[in-house]
Amino acid sequence: MVDELFTGANNLEGRAIREIMAVAMDAPAQAKSGHSGTAMALAPLGVTLFGRLMRHDPTDAQWIDRDRIILSCGHASILQYGLAHSFGYDLGDEDLRGFRRPHSRTPGHPERGVTPTVEVTTGPLGQGIANGVGMAIAERILRTDFGDDLIDHRTWVIAGDGCLEEGISHEAASLAGSLGLDRLTIFYDDNHITIDGPTELAMRDDAAGRFRAYGWHVIELGERANDLDALEAAGREAMAETSRPTLVIVRSHIGFPAAAMMDRREAHGTPFSATVITETKAILGVADTAFSLDPDLPSEMVEALVERRAQHTRWEAAMVAAGERGSRLRSQFETGGAMLETVAVDYFEGGKLVATRKAMQRAMDTWAVHTPGLTAGSADLTDNTGVLLKSPSQGAANPGGRQIHYGIREFAMGAILVGQAAHGGFRPIGSTFFVFSDYARPAIRLAALSHVGTLFVFTHDSVGVGEDGPTHQPVEHLMALRAMPRLHVVRPSDANETLDLVEAFLRDDNPPTTALVLSRQDFAVLGDDERRASHEGAPRGGYVVRDADDARFTLVATGSEVAAAITANDRLREMGISTRVVALPCWTCFEQQPREYRDAVLRRSTPSVALEAGATLGWSRYVDEAIGIDAFGLSAPGDYVFDYFNIVAQSLVDHVCEFLGVRP
């Protein structure tokens, strides 16, 4: 029976495939939600990858030189959970029974850090492809740095029709082809079914022609989804390719071998009925009992991986033999590629007019050489954002290059950064104009959700962009990103504060996902007293720039508007009105501080007003009133636009005087 269904499968492989297919029906049926059909159709591919092709060791899921596997079509998560269980990873029977239950290790879509073998959080289609590009870049750089005796692994991605429809797949595949990432292989599950029905409703692409045009090696397997020998041969052909990535197109039948559901859209996201499950289990030759799991299968699978585990043993010996080189590699993974030593930076002189974006280049020049895991690049705006390393550009000619030219591909860039960070050993930085964070937002969200240490540098942070006009003036973006859980949205008060915060990100062994929002326009660097307050308080997300016991008002600001608040403080003092100045560069950091600290900084018993060149929505949690921009911008010189929208020191002066009933 097994040989008739799964060509070339040995007895052990056949048992695994059948069990995974059964679980792919049982788990969604019990949860009353989930995606059975794709997981069933891809079970032979999964067993081929884990059993014949991938370099891995179930007894050490975090082995540095393991192959990385990404399920880009994350809705088929039960496939990955079934594979992890069958191949002896730390995922038990009860974990499978807990599919989609609260706080289980088998959530509805794969989540990094929750389940063994899950390298990245997937589900939003297509991002897994770009994550794979990031992991392939990471492997290539490490192999160049440390040698192929210590780094010699590959990245495998399983993707579906939806992944290839999403625009990010075009961005990422185009870049991967340009870079010649030969250790990246995507298996494309060409099952012709989406939730609405046949893919032909909306897509008639020539996927093979498209990827060949990107510079990929393409293997068209056709109707071989159940042929383990053919799948293995395709994988080995991909492994033999040394100059370009590979796409393997496999025509599968969703829901196979459930006759009542196969090739139907209902098989995509509708749990199978009890009748269909019984009929299908009869075809598979497995017990008609929910979660009838073979207790011997995981240990037998681990034993069958004897050569793969021997590779791990040989690698450990190579690490010891490599001495200091091996120690450096292990340290780079343990610290996430953090800065190795403290190096003094040349701070900007107080009072000098400097755009915060200009601090980025000084940071790169100072610390890049001391940060082994650093990669940097931009979406075609390197000169504007200042994220330029003294390193060759990444590519086939320079496999160790750490400067990455992402092209005009913000979404792919963001997801590739996530892939590099999730791979381990890297501290990636990507940059573009702040308004284009809209294009990268889904990747930023998954970065924050995944707890990966990526730094998104966004410059041209406000209407200071000037003549480029409303299309390029990000007025709502600060609040939009601040609404994202776990993301640290940081708008530094001056260039020196920017240097401090970049250094903190590079030094932290476990940095948060960070969006660093920097100005295009120059503004005054803080003076010595304010500088001390910034150095101590900026890492806490908020601090008192200037204080006064007799203050009648608190002026709160972020970014370039802090300088305006200081100017207003000076003018009001000349009028005999004492005020405080508070900077809130990072709301998320500030909320993590003890209440006593937050209360002391804000002192809400004192009337307060905020000034920020963006939407006012959200400021009510910190101040009584907010002066901002609740409209799209204006095409005009930056100074004029700031004046037009009243984002100037005089607006604070006028507000305080009006509140206090004093003539300005």
Mean pLDDT value across residues 486-503 = 98
The Cα 234–Cα 249 span in angstroms is 10
pLDDT score, position 394 = 98
Provide mean pLDDT across the span 232-243.
98
The model's pLDDT over 589-614, given as tens digits with 9 standing for 90+, comes to 999 999 999 999 999 999 999 999 99
Give the length of the chain: 664
Angle, CA of 437, 442 and 443, to the nearest 5°: 85
From the CB of residue 325, how many other CB atoms can be counted at a distance below 10 Å? 16
How would DSSP label each residue in 347-399? PPPTT-EE-HHHHHHHHHHHHGGG-TTEEEEESS-HHHHT---SSPBSBTTBT
Full DSSP string of 119-153: -S---STTHHHHHHHHHHHHHHHHHHHH-TTT---
3-state secondary structure of 502: helix
CA distance 530 to 523: 15
Where residue 3 falls among pLDDT bands split at 50, 70, 90?
Answer: low
* 392-393-395 Cα angle (round to 5): 115
Q: In the structure, what pLDDT confidence band is assigned to residue 664 with cuts at 50, 70 and 90? A: confident
Q: Note the CATH number of domain 353-524.
A: 3.40.50.970
* Domain parsing of the chain, residue ranges: 2-309, 353-524, 528-660
* pTM, to two decimals: 0.97
Question: What's the confidence (pLDDT) of residue 341?
Answer: 87
CB 551 within 8 A of CB 608: no
Question: In the CATH hierarchy, which fold is given to the domain comprising 528-660?
Answer: Rossmann fold (3.40.50)
Query: What's the token pair of residue 149?
Result: 């005796």
Cα angle 617, 446, 194; round to 5: 110
| pLDDT, tens digit (0-9, with 9 covering 90-100), for 138-195 | 999 999 999 999 999 999 999 999 999 999 999 999 999 999 999 999 999 999 999 9
Query: How does pLDDT run across 337-361, given as a tens digit for each residue?
Result: 999 988 999 999 999 999 999 999 9
- For the chain, what percent of residues have pLDDT higher than 90? 98
Q: What is the mean pLDDT of residues 19-25?
A: 98
- Intrachain domains 353-524 and 528-660 with the same fold: yes
Q: What is the pLDDT of residue 474?
A: 97
297-304 helix and 11-31 helix, angle to the nearest 10 degrees: 130
Residue 624: both structure tokens together: 């009584």
Query: Which superfamily is assigned to 2-309 in CATH?
Result: Thiamin diphosphate (ThDP)-binding fold, Pyr/PP domains (3.40.50.970)
Helix (H) or strand (E) holding 252: none
Amino acid (1-letter code) at residue 202: A
The two structure tokens encoding residue 604: 């809400």
Q: Which residues contact 43 (CB under 8 A, 6 or more apart)?
A: 17, 20, 21, 24, 79, 82
- One-letter identity of residue 525: V
Which helix (DSSP H) or strand (DSSP E) does residue 501 occupy?
helix 495-507
Widest Cα–Cα separation across the chain = 92
Q: Classify 55 as helix, strand or coil.
A: coil
* pLDDT tens digits for range 238-277: 999 999 999 999 999 999 999 999 999 999 999 999 999 9
> Which residues neighbour 273 within 8 Å (Cβ) at sequence distance 6 or greater?
none
- pLDDT grade for 660, boundaries at 50, 70 and 90: very high
Mean pLDDT, rounded, of the chain:
97
Predicted local distance difference test score (pLDDT) of residue 2: 44
In the predicted structure, residue 1 carries a pLDDT above the cut 70: no
Beta strands in 8-148 (DSSP E): 68-71
pLDDT tier, 548 (very low <50, low <70, confident <90, very high otherwise): very high
pLDDT (average), residues 200-213:
96
Residue 418: band (very low, low, confident or very high) from pLDDT cuts 50, 70, 90: very high
Average pLDDT of the segment spanning 469-475:
96
What are 70-79's pLDDT values in tens digits?
999 999 999 9
Q: Tell me the catalytic residues.
A: 410
SS3 of 363-375: HHHHHHHHCCCEE
